Amino acid sequence: MPYVNIRLAGKLDKQQKEEICSGVTDVIARVANKPKDSILIFIDEDQHENIAVGGKLLQKPK
């Protein structure tokens, strides 16, 4: 069973998550020749202040 973990800074709405999951599932099913119902996707939404790049915490977009 393939699984995908997507981590991002900030929040997505339900529609965005549905589109991402649909697209990722389609690609894995096509490229890896796996049945769509075997693909498991996790989306982790982190707060910007919990992620650092180059030693500096990310700033929330305005």
Element (H, E) at 21: helix 14-32
Query: Which is catalytic among the residues 1, 2, 7, 61?
Result: 2
Helix/strand/coil for 36: helix
Q: Is 48 helix (H, G, I), strand (E, B) or coil?
A: helix
Tell me, yes or no, if 61 is annotated catalytic.
Answer: no
In sequence order, the β-bridge partners of residue 13 are none
Instruction: Give the residue numbers marked as catalytic.
Output: 2
